[in-house]
Chain A
Amino acid sequence: MTQAVQTYAYLRSSALTEQPSGRALALATSGGCTPAGAVANPRFFSGFLTAPEPAAAALLAVADVAAARYHQPLLRASLDPVVTAGGDRLRFESFSGCCGVHARLDVLADGLDGGEIGHGTTNVDVNNPLREALGRAGGADPLHLAVGPDALEVTTFDGTLVEKKVPLPDRWLRGFAETQVLAAGFDLRAEVPAAEAVRFLRSLPRGAGRSVQWVVPAGRTLRPAARPVPGAVCLPGPERLVALQRVLRHALALRLYGPPAGRQPTASAWEIVLPGMRLTLTLSPDVARGFSGEGGVLTALASPAAAADAELVSVLLAWEPRIEVAELAAQSGLTPERVRAALTVLGTAGQIGYDTAEAAHFHRQLPYDAGRAEAHNPRLRAARALLAAGAVRLDPDGPLATVTVDDHVQRVRRAPDGSLSCTCLWWAKYRGGRGPCKHALAVRLATGPEVGA
């Protein structure tokens, strides 16, 4: 196992202070990417939060997810949240230590008052005194928010950084990046008003039962179902929505996003609408299954053309809060399909997020070395090894390919629609629901881009 370490270097700790001029929340930043290149401690915003109490609660919810492990909770892991400034909004993102829950708080233009919003992505410091102060931040008094140090702070800096070192597992990084790819397949399935949202979220089991529920919209209410009926949204591990309890009092509505209901549990996204903000939790298909193993990106990664396209497309991105595929296609001269495949590749490199509410990608660059993690994807590596060992034999005129593994063979079949299936255990268990197996991937690599995704 490769285990990298993430080092944060903040000029000072984030803090919420009471000053004579009012309350001020100063979030310290570390290691940012901006249009001007890498910046050690970038500044993205200085202005007021229009709904201070809900904003404080929602920030705490994001911090909760960052500090949580919903599976095997004894192994602690905590990486700081990531903030992206997209010109008209701020997005705070975090990813749980178990790689199964992604949280994003979008503070929209309505939620912010005054101050220019910059462009870029960085980490923000969250510490215990800040959590306590955010918990106390009730009342309607205005709350000033600053993301990053101002010029004065940088020039008067005394040289002692606040440093944090946290292990950065490949698996975590892959999962964080791949959540976006999975979320791009979601659609809005239901929206219920605040009262029903509260009733429903309170009725969920709190204990870790490893259970999977389905939820069916029924009029203005949500009904739990025991199986995936048409229109149902999967709720895998309902106890993982606990972070939403913090903001429940301020909720205006609850929106559910998911892929079309299949027979197997799927990932889903749960969005609480807050005044001027949206808080979205994306859950992996099982408490014990992180996003990293979902394999939704492997097909795109196995195609060399997509990598080249991705490079071309990445140049055109500039922290847009909404990426228009058609526009990018026109600018790059690629077809919309190729742009989408390129975006998937960029997603695995942590350069793209997906906003289910807008049904659009947005540009951000995770302040980690995300591409490295994807190169080490175990399945992709195994597929490359199979190919290198000459294990793949393509049937010249049929849809079948034979992959020899050790002393036995697996057969990979190409369906008329281009999808690949296999006789191996992985395929038998998930039927392609967790991406292609290494055999199918090896065949995809062997057949080359002309029949690729």
Chain B
Amino acid sequence: MTGLPAAVRRGDVPATVAALAALTAEQRRVALPDLVALRREQRPEWWAVPGDVRVALMIAGAACHSAPSAAAGWLGGQDFRAVGLWERPELRAVLDTRPVEWRSAVADRLARRPARSWGWNDYPLLEHLVLTTGMPVPEADQFVTEWMRHRTWQLDPSAPTRSLWEQLVGDPFVPVLVPRLFEVPETGALLATGMTDVDNRWAGCLVRLAERGTVARPELIDRCLARLLRGGRPNDQRGFLAVLRALAPTLEENARHVRSHLALLDGLSTVAAHAQAVLVELDTAGLLGPDLLAEAAGRVLFRTEKKLVRAQLGWLDRSARREPDRAGTVVLATAGAFGHPDRAVQESALRVVARHLAAAGPAVLPDLRAAAELLDPAHHARAAELLGVRPAAADEPYRELLPPVPVPRPLPGPLATPAEVAEELAALLQGDPDPAAFERTLDGLVRHAHLDRAALTEALEPVLRGPSWDARHWDARRWADCTPADLLYVAAAAADRLPADQAWSARVPSRSPLRGQRLTVFGAQLAARLEEAAWQVRATPPPYLLAVPTDTTGALAAGTLVERLAGYEAAGRIPGAADLGQALLRAVLPDQAAAEAAAALTSPAGRRLAAWLREGGLPHQDAVLPVEPADTARRLGRLRWWHWEDRRALRPPGPPPAHPLPADAARLVAAEPAGRCPVEGFWFTSAAHWTAMLPGHREQVAVRLRWAFAAAAGAGGYEDRGAPQALPLLAESGGPAGPAVHLVLGYGLGTRFPEDRAAAVDALLVLAARGDLDGALLGTGLARLARAGELKTNRLAAALRSAADTGAHGTVWSVLAPALPGLLDGKPVHAAADLLALAADCARRCAARGPIPEVTALAGRGGGSRLVKEARGLAGVLSDGA
């Protein structure tokens, strides 16, 4: 008996088998602890154990366990589940020597394991055990799935290649497992896979098994329908639908399952289409009562798939023609499509109603009139003609629904204690995107460094323990923009975690750790303020900062700024240049009272502020839109990123007059951005800070972000996500909205991702609510972008549709009306029909009149294409309001 452990350790499988054969039951029991110990020793690195050692160990352990549960546990371990281990003939041979009850108990346990415990090729051994012991066929879920998988793909390499039918025809498992496969989850996918010939398809084989009587055909049909009723993933359902189709139930069989088929009309669209076809057949044979027809219509007409709905309308029509006494039922059922989202479906439904209304009699009229309230306004006239009464909805006066004008919230007061500064800093380092939190924390760091730097240092200790400035700095140098989380730099300086000379030398931009290679102009301005503050907290902290805004858009009341500067003068402090520059850009102008108060300031900074307020700050200038796309791009007919500068030759406004702004602040409003200014999607988390830097000059922000918005609309050939999330911020920001704001809004309406389009729609509505939307500017801009191939018009239609759906029909019309001439001139753009349909809806609701020549011309063309039909619809509305 000493031979067994040695043979196992050697990995000598034949010797192990031989040693096992010689052991008595008692000896096996005694040998077991050694084997368990050996396995425990090997388990941590089982993958490194030579294969044969594992095989020998597995066989020896399985044979030495006298309790079936223990043997099953031994075999089912992860270390023995590697491919091929259970396929070893030696294992089968050794197991076959054990008693039948023991073997069947082991097989039963192994068959019941949950799916995640099964290996790739466990099934053949189990099948062998089940067949040799004569035990009842296991019915556990995963056993059924594995049986199907092995029958489908023939995974047992030792078995001869046979078709699925050849395997199933003599398979004793079939009578037990075929009914089960309709109950086990996710078996449908297997039913639909495999070879294409009938011998290898489950559907075909199941039908033949039913023909032979191996499984009962009525039971198959029952179970198939039940499975489809239960629902599931499309892939799963398709398999069972294939089986049902292959079974091809007769009219009588289907008649027994009318209710099931009715319920399937709510299912997956392919399943519903099948059920619909079956029910039509039953109805044609006169086996479907009128109430069931009405129920079927109710279910199908509620669906959105036009194919199913049209088929249903056709069926209703035919049914009423065949049996005129059903006209009442049919007409009422058809009215279920009056609320359908598709206008053309509503029209078809009206036609069916019109055809059978006379036969239905006047009793149906009240219900029909109630249903007609859901009709699209385009059909109100027809409904009135048919039903005698105009839908009440037609007479409601139009009211434009826009979101409330956003009111900026005032910023809370300064952070009162160092502990609060520490908490806010921790939140910012964790990515809090709120500009107000950032401004208050920066101010708090300076403020408390001024009051008691030792207390601040102590308070910051728990927060600065984790993040290291050096690691962050390394990232920043390599690829990142300067972001609000770089506040860590100021905090590190305040807490003496930054050498003083470093804080000093960083004030030279080329040596600043905050300025990486891909710094945006916004990042540069942020960096300038942080560099200045870091040096200030280290050297001579001022009592507070000037640039802290007074409301959440970033605006700073000019009067507050004058008071703050007066405080500096009283304390004999000179403000930091970057801080003052940012404060000037944020000041809300014009402010006569503040300008007068500022006249009393005497310091150089005070005089500069007074002059700035007197002159009204930075003059607003619209960006200049190019007249035509650049030649190179037109010649190539296709846009590449290196043409962006040409194509989006949108000039920022001219230079400000002699201004007191430091370099980084001046660059924010300069005529030309200095050099290339990449602003990429993944930096847009800071966008709220960018609009808060120029709260009164959103046109300037929009000019600088135009590339990112163009990229989001797919103009560069790829589609960035996220940039349009900044659009609502622009809409809520201050200053006139000029061509640049409208251009980026246009791009936003054409972005790929629904959440980005929702942001653009949000911005559109907010601009309209604030009275800042120039429909003509946006409309003509949209047409130009679409013509230049920079805007996908189907997305534009979806975005404008969702804006109109919220009740802003007038706003959408104000954008579409000026856009249509450009969109339709020459060859109409893609999705022009959708845009025309939307325009007609909007014009009808807000009672817009006055023909558009391009629409009239298109409507005058011959042919019955959808485009021409929609153009006719719009032209009709515009000419007479029909």
A-to-B contact residues, CB < 8 Å: 128-129, 131-132, 135-136, 138-139, 195, 199, 202, 205, 211, 213, 216, 218-221, 223-227, 229-230, 246, 248-249, 263, 399-400, 408-411, 413, 421-425, 427-429, 431
Nearest 6 Cβ contacts at the A-B interface: A226-B759, A428-B426, A423-B462, A428-B430, A218-B806, A223-B806
Across-interface contacts of A131 in B (CB, < 8 A) = 229-230
Give residues 727-766 of B contacting A (CB, 8 Å): 728, 754-756, 758-759, 761-762, 765
Q: Do residues A211 and B755 form an inter-chain contact, with CB atoms below 8 A?
A: yes
A227 CA / B728 CA spacing, docked (Å): 9
Per-residue interface assignment for chain B, residues 259 to 280, with 1 indicating a CB less than 8 Å from any chain A CB and 0 otherwise? 1101100100000000000000
A135-B231, A219-B401, A220-B807 are known; give 15 further A-B pairs, CB within 8 A: A135-B230, A138-B262, A138-B299, A211-B755, A213-B755, A218-B403, A221-B806, A223-B765, A223-B806, A224-B802, A226-B762, A400-B419, A411-B459, A423-B422, A428-B429
A246 CA / B266 CA spacing, docked (Å): 8
Q: Decide yes or no whether B666 CB sits under 8 A from chain A.
A: no
Q: Which residue of B lies closest to A264 (CB)?
A: B432
- A135 touches which one: B263, B427, B728 (CB < 8 A)? B263
- A218 touches which one: B341, B401, B756 (CB < 8 A)? B401
Q: Do residues A132 and B423 form an inter-chain contact, with CB atoms below 8 A?
A: no
Across-interface contacts of B724 in A (CB, < 8 A) = 226
Q: Do residues B434 and A263 form an inter-chain contact, with CB atoms below 8 A?
A: yes
Q: Min CB distance, A317 to chain B, in Å? A: 38
Q: Decide yes or no whether B127 CB sits under 8 A from chain A.
A: no
Across-interface contacts of A413 in B (CB, < 8 A) = 417, 419-420, 423
Give residues 287-317 of B contacting A (CB, 8 Å): 291, 295, 298-299, 302, 304
Q: Do residues A249 and B299 form an inter-chain contact, with CB atoms below 8 A?
A: yes
Across-interface contacts of B420 in A (CB, < 8 A) = 413, 421
A219 CA / B807 CA spacing, docked (Å): 8
Across-interface contacts of B758 in A (CB, < 8 A) = 213, 224-226
Q: Do residues B426 and A425 form an inter-chain contact, with CB atoms below 8 A?
A: yes
- B423 touches which one: A139, A229, A422 (CB < 8 A)? A422
A352 CA / B231 CA spacing, docked (Å): 34
Q: Min CB distance, B720 to chain A, in Å? A: 15
What size tier do the contact residues of chain B reach? 35 or more
Across-interface contacts of A220 in B (CB, < 8 A) = 807
- B426 touches which one: A199, A227, A409, A427 (CB < 8 A)? A427
A195 CA / B299 CA spacing, docked (Å): 15
> A195-B339, A223-B806, A229-B403 are contacts. A421–B423 as well, Cβ < 8 Å?
yes
B-to-A contact residues, CB < 8 Å: 183, 226, 229-231, 259-260, 262-263, 266, 291, 295, 298-299, 302, 304, 339, 341, 374, 401, 403-404, 406, 417, 419-420, 422-423, 426-427, 429-430, 432, 434, 459, 461-463, 465-466, 724-725, 728, 754-756, 758-759, 761-762, 765, 802, 805-807
Q: Which residue of A lies closest to B461 (CB)?
A: A409
Q: Min CB distance, B96 to chain A, in Å? A: 34
A335 CA / B134 CA spacing, docked (Å): 72
Q: Do residues A429 and B339 form an inter-chain contact, with CB atoms below 8 A?
A: no
Across-interface contacts of B430 in A (CB, < 8 A) = 425, 428-429
Q: Do residues A139 and B295 form an inter-chain contact, with CB atoms below 8 A?
A: yes
Across-interface contacts of B728 in A (CB, < 8 A) = 226-227, 229
A218 CA / B417 CA spacing, docked (Å): 42
> A423-B422, A425-B426 are contacts. A219–B229 as well, Cβ < 8 Å?
no
With most chain B CB atoms within 10 A of its CB, the pick from A135, A213, A400 is A135
Provide a sorted-by-A list of 15 A–B residue pairs whose CB atoms are within 8 angstroms: A131-B229, A135-B266, A220-B807, A221-B806, A223-B806, A224-B755, A224-B758, A226-B725, A226-B759, A230-B404, A230-B406, A411-B422, A423-B426, A425-B430, A427-B427
A422 CA / B424 CA spacing, docked (Å): 10
A428 CA / B432 CA spacing, docked (Å): 8
Q: Min CB distance, A403 to chain B, in Å? A: 9
Q: Do residues B462 and A138 form an inter-chain contact, with CB atoms below 8 A?
A: no
A128 CA / B401 CA spacing, docked (Å): 47
> A132-B229, A202-B304 are contacts. A227–B295 as well, Cβ < 8 Å?
no
Q: Do residues B406 and A229 form an inter-chain contact, with CB atoms below 8 A?
A: yes
Q: Min CB distance, A340 to chain B, in Å? A: 28
Q: Do residues B462 and A427 form an inter-chain contact, with CB atoms below 8 A?
A: no
A319 CA / B477 CA spacing, docked (Å): 64
Q: Do residues A227 and B230 form an inter-chain contact, with CB atoms below 8 A?
A: no
Q: Do residues A431 and B427 form an inter-chain contact, with CB atoms below 8 A?
A: yes
A166 CA / B401 CA spacing, docked (Å): 51
Across-interface contacts of A221 in B (CB, < 8 A) = 401, 805-807
Across-interface contacts of A248 in B (CB, < 8 A) = 302
With most chain B CB atoms within 10 A of its CB, the pick from A199, A248, A431 is A431
A421 CA / B417 CA spacing, docked (Å): 13
A219 CA / B434 CA spacing, docked (Å): 30
A202 CA / B374 CA spacing, docked (Å): 17
- B263 touches which one: A136, A199, A429 (CB < 8 A)? A136
Q: Do residues B754 and A195 form an inter-chain contact, with CB atoms below 8 A?
A: no
A221 CA / B806 CA spacing, docked (Å): 6
- A225 touches which one: B426, B463, B762 (CB < 8 A)? B762
Q: Min CB distance, B728 to chain A, in Å? A: 6
A128 CA / B183 CA spacing, docked (Å): 8
> A139-B291, A218-B806, A229-B406 are contacts. A409–B230 as well, Cβ < 8 Å?
no
Q: Do residues B229 and A423 form an inter-chain contact, with CB atoms below 8 A?
A: no
Across-interface contacts of A249 in B (CB, < 8 A) = 266, 298-299, 302
Q: Min CB distance, B454 to chain A, in Å? A: 15
A199 CA / B465 CA spacing, docked (Å): 52
Q: Do residues A427 and B423 form an inter-chain contact, with CB atoms below 8 A?
A: yes
A37 CA / B151 CA spacing, docked (Å): 54
Q: Min CB distance, B373 to chain A, in Å? A: 9
Q: Min CB distance, A227 to chain B, in Å? A: 6
Across-interface contacts of A429 in B (CB, < 8 A) = 427, 430
A425 CA / B431 CA spacing, docked (Å): 11
Q: Which residue of B lies closest to A205 (CB)?
A: B754
A217 CA / B28 CA spacing, docked (Å): 75
A199 CA / B755 CA spacing, docked (Å): 17
A248 CA / B434 CA spacing, docked (Å): 39
Q: Do residues B806 and A428 form an inter-chain contact, with CB atoms below 8 A?
A: no
- A219 touches which one: B302, B423, B756, B806 (CB < 8 A)? B806
Q: Min CB distance, A338 to chain B, in Å? A: 30
Across-interface contacts of A421 in B (CB, < 8 A) = 420, 423
> A221-B805, A226-B725 are contacts. A136–B259 as well, Cβ < 8 Å?
yes
Q: Do residues B295 and A428 form an inter-chain contact, with CB atoms below 8 A?
A: no
Q: Min CB distance, A453 to chain B, in Å? A: 20
Q: Do residues B374 and A195 form an inter-chain contact, with CB atoms below 8 A?
A: yes
Across-interface contacts of A226 in B (CB, < 8 A) = 724-725, 728, 755-756, 758-759, 762
Q: Which residue of A lies closest to B223 (CB)?
A: A132
With most chain B CB atoms within 10 A of its CB, the pick from A219, A229, A428 is A428
A410 CA / B432 CA spacing, docked (Å): 20
> A139-B295, A413-B420, A428-B423 are contacts. A227–B341 as well, Cβ < 8 Å?
no
A219 CA / B417 CA spacing, docked (Å): 45
Q: Min CB distance, B667 to chain A, in Å? A: 29
Q: Do residues B260 and A408 form an inter-chain contact, with CB atoms below 8 A?
A: no
Q: Which residue of B lies closest to A222 (CB)?
A: B806
Q: Which residue of B lies closest to A412 (CB)?
A: B419
Q: Which residue of B lies closest to A129 (CB)?
A: B226
A422 CA / B420 CA spacing, docked (Å): 9
Q: Do residues A199 and B341 form an inter-chain contact, with CB atoms below 8 A?
A: yes
A410 CA / B462 CA spacing, docked (Å): 6
Q: Min CB distance, B571 to chain A, in Å? A: 28
Q: Min CB distance, A408 to chain B, in Å? A: 5
